[in-house]
Amino acid sequence: MKSDEIFDLTLLQLDAATVSAQSLETIGEAVLRAPGDLVLLPEMFATGFRPDATAVAQPADGEIVTALRGWAAESGKAVAGSVAVRDGATLRNRLFFARPSGELAWYDKRHLFRPGGETGHFTPGSGRTVVEYRGLRFLLLVCYDLRFPVWSRCRRDYDVILCSAAWPESRRDVWRTLLCARALENQAWIVGTNFCGEDSSGRYAGSSAIIDCYGRFRAEAPERGAACRTVHFSLDEQNRFRERFPTWRDADDFVLKQ
């Protein structure tokens, strides 16, 4: 991708009250209708968020991931979303990034949500994942990761953050604040896709958003109701901002132990 080309980022907010009753085909239809070059889905988009996902977890080549790859291939765009995965004897909250070619990249959620019991069932990931697609570099995060700025610190190694989430209604303001903070401190666009509605795990904040490198909300979904939002992203514009206001030059150096 040339720096002056436009890339369309799309979030697809799903209603948790209906997602577990929906077939993968129904979710897939929404993905295929969505515009854009990349579509981001919520955390555990096909089953709803489950701290103990033993009953809904699938192998990495199971029905859900196979469908994700199929949507990317059929639509000609990248599709990303979190899935509860059985990996040998462990459970992983795994964010998959499916390219139209069928190639998969993934990231295992590093920061498991201890207050909700996720640490008692899942095994945390051990490393960051940055995916390159069409000349752009995407940092993959899952929900609670958003609270840990060191983990997401940009060291000139990515352009856009993708955060797949199941964020609760009670902390909606925190969700919006943290999305904005990660964009500002890293001078990077961020796409945060959340559930709305209610299921057995609780009520969700909705308010999925795309925020630019200036910290401006370029698109936001409502608190309630499934929604699709798309925004044009310009790498050239972001790079010019990073050069005009080079806070990265004054950032503290550190070594991240993984």
- Indicate the SS3 state at residue 250: helix
Options 77, 118, 143, 220, the catalytic residue: 143
Options 2, 5, 29, 43, the catalytic residue: 43
Catalytic annotation present for 237: no
**Amino acid identity of 130?**
V
Options 25, 74, 103, 109, the catalytic residue: 109
Rounded to 5°, the CA angle 32-33-35 comes to 95
- The rounded distance, in Å, linking the Cα atoms of 229 and 206 is 13
Q: 3-state DSSP helix/strand/coil percent for the chain, to nearest 5? A: 25, 35, 40
- Indicate the SS3 state at residue 81: strand
Catalytic annotation present for 154: no
**Amino acid identity of 214?**
Y
Enumerate the active-site residues.
Answer: 43, 109, 143
